Structure 1
Amino acid sequence: MKKQPAQLETLVLDQLPEEAVPSYESALLAVSATVALFRDEATDTWRIEAVREALADQDALTTALALAAGLSGYEAVLERAPVEAEGWLARTVEAFPEQEIGRRFLIRPTHVEPRLTYGRIPLTLDAGLAFGSGEHSSTQGCLMALEGLHRRPRYVLDVGSGSGILAMGAAKMFRGARALATDIEPWSVRVAEENVTMNGLKRRMRVILADGYRHAAIRTGQPFDLIFANILARPLCAMAADLGAHLAPGGRAILAGLLGTQARMVLIAHRRAGLVLERRIDLAPWCTLVLRKDS
């Protein structure tokens, strides 16, 4: 008997001011498999669309949107509409081609046949799980910052890792490195673990469920030579002291998930924690910061 396709729905948040985009994008990423952003240049506002199963947890969606409203100070109106399930994955696959990022990385969806790559580090991801797929400018900025590092890290931490793409990129680029990826969503942890296996990194990378830096593996382990945090500006500021405490002297932190207009706020918080700005990458409207902890 042919399996019936899942019932899907589209979630739409329209006419968002730029400052509210990171919070609401994060909210929809927490409850959806794929999220897309569109800018209306005429009105200078943003539209966020997400697709998920129609019968998914409604309480989780309500909670995520309420948190986004509290963080951003803007209450968005959610629109919902059914979407045809058949053909949706095919359209997702078509919209997620193999892509080159920066000078070193190649994001390869699972539907693309493997091939020899020269001068590129391939990272294999599932087209049906778009968060952390490399398409978002924040992820791209982090990978571009990573390829610019000259000091080889031994211990890598990725806080709020999503698909695990950043920690995997570091583990593949620096073959002696050991990486720890964390996320607060059990679903994200499962997806990242699958990606770790698919990329042959089980011996050098671990994925755990953790809230920020609150886990024994982080508190009692070695100081980290490289820390990724691709989350949101306010949580970045709130966790700046923890980041500084767990970053080894001379280590680097790569921060993203913030708008260019929020960079100063994030920098001030991390300067208080003993870090200095080494590099800034702008992929408008998003910004990636590379910070250094002096000895």
Structure 2
Amino acid sequence: MRDTYSGPRDRRADPLETIWLDALPEDAVPPYEAALQTVCRSVALFRDEATDTWRLEGVRPQGAGEEELAGALALAAVVTGHDAALQAAPVEAEGWLARTAQAFGEQEIGGDFLIRPTHLPATRVYGRTVLVLDAGIAFGSGEHASTRGCLVAFARAQKDRRRMRRILDLGTGSGILAMAAAKRRRRPVLATDIEPWSVRVAEQNAAMNGVGRLVRARLADGWGERHVRGGRPYDLVFANILARPLCAMAKHMANGLAPGGTAILAGLLGTQARMVLAAHRRHGLRLERALPVGPWTTLVLRKAA
């Protein structure tokens, strides 16, 4: 799942607006979430238990990316068969930034990681790997269940003393997973994304966290880019994307993993886990564990040694 990001230096009081979609069925959530992420600085998901539907809410500069958003929403409607009406209301930039900073406190993830926002003072922490991120990061800050699931899965795989010399982070977003692997393993990590701004952000975050020389951020679309192909076979691959793209690249994932290699897949709802798992099983990967976090699920797959 790609991460939406406003940038640590983007602190101007530009007018913002909240946009939202109501009454979405569960299966329509991932495509519409991805659509809002094309233009939004922040995306949140809310479930209405009474109707068993979802509300998606995002924040963007007023009127930003109208054509891009319209195209993404149209595609989501075709994919899901559900036509959702977009609504909008203004919000003050400074108020949003203040609320974001106030709400984004330190987060402990499992017993292994601590996510610390830049607006909090640096204090020494024992027994955890600290990842410093800006409060403007919405996804990729560790708050989203998919990111949390990936970090917990990585920590467990590492405790199993897995070989992790070659590491790939597909759809790196803020770079949080690549940084976690680089800090823990002290090995180079190739971090790729299809968005140029995401590549820049991942580079900035890696430098801020002291792993700028280990995290190599590259613009790439999946497995076809030469840097990705050249790094094969990988001992560990993170793919925090969406269910359908994960299914589409299952064969490439199997071919790209080293014998005994681990794939950590996320960005899928629990109801989509069976579909994603079936696609990868057809290419010889086996399920090691599934980690549900709220409505989302993280799958840990392994290639036979």
Instruction: Give the alignment's TM-score, normalised by structure 1.
Output: 0.96
Q: Is the 1:255–1:290 contact (alpha carbons within 8 Å) kept by the matching residues of 2?
A: yes
Please give the alpha-carbon distance, in whole angstroms, between the structure 1 residues aligned to 2:34 and 2:203.
21
Please give the alpha-carbon distance, in whole angstroms, between the structure 1 residues aligned to 2:139 and 2:38.
9
Which of 248, 266, 285 is the matching residue for 1:238?
Answer: 248
- In the alignment, which residue of structure 1 is the partner of 2:5? none
TM-superposed deviation, 1:129? 2.0
- In the alignment, which residue of structure 1 is the partner of 2:178? 167
TM-superposed deviation, 1:4? 6.8
Residues 96-107 of structure 1 mapped to structure 2, 5 A cutoff: 96-107=104-115
- In the alignment, which residue of structure 1 is the partner of 2:16? 8
Please give the alpha-carbon distance, in whole angstroms, between the structure 2 residues aligned to 1:72 and 1:152.
39
Corresponding position: 1:265 with 2:269: no
TM-superposed deviation, 1:74? 1.8
- In the alignment, which residue of structure 1 is the partner of 2:64? 56
Please give the alpha-carbon distance, in whole angstroms, between the structure 2 residues aligned to 1:224 and 1:178.
12
- In the alignment, which residue of structure 2 is the partner of 1:93? 101
Q: Is the 1:33–1:131 contact (alpha carbons within 8 Å) kept by the matching residues of 2?
A: no
Which of 113, 122, 134 is the matching residue for 1:114?
Answer: 122
Q: Is the 1:225–1:252 contact (alpha carbons within 8 Å) kept by the matching residues of 2?
A: yes
TM-superposed deviation, 1:274? 1.4
Gaps of 5+ in 1: none
Gaps of 5+ in 2: 1-10
Q: Is the 2:203–2:215 contact (alpha carbons within 8 Å) kept by the matching residues of 1?
A: no
Which of 21, 24, 32 is the matching residue for 2:40?
Answer: 32
What secondary structure, in the 3-state scheme, does the structure 1 residue paired with 2:190 have? strand
Corresponding position: 1:178 with 2:194: no
Which of 78, 92, 100 is the matching residue for 1:70?
Answer: 78
RMSD over aligned CA atoms reads 1.3
What secondary structure, in the 3-state scheme, does the structure 1 residue paired with 2:93 have? coil
Please give the alpha-carbon distance, in whole angstroms, between the structure 2 residues aligned to 1:86 and 1:119.
36
Q: How many residues are aligned here?
A: 292
Q: Is the 2:232–2:257 contact (alpha carbons within 8 Å) kept by the matching residues of 1?
A: no
Corresponding position: 1:216 with 2:223: no
Q: Residue type matched to 1:169 in 2?
A: A
What secondary structure, in the 3-state scheme, does the structure 1 residue paired with 2:231 have? coil
What secondary structure, in the 3-state scheme, does the structure 2 residue paired with 1:46 have? strand
Q: Is the 1:40–1:46 contact (alpha carbons within 8 Å) kept by the matching residues of 2?
A: yes
Instruction: Give the alignment's TM-score, normalised by structure 2.
Output: 0.93
Q: Residue type matched to 2:180 in 1?
A: G
Q: Is the 2:153–2:264 contact (alpha carbons within 8 Å) kept by the matching residues of 1?
A: yes
Residue identity over aligned pairs, in percent, reads 64
What secondary structure, in the 3-state scheme, does the structure 2 residue paired with 1:22 have? helix
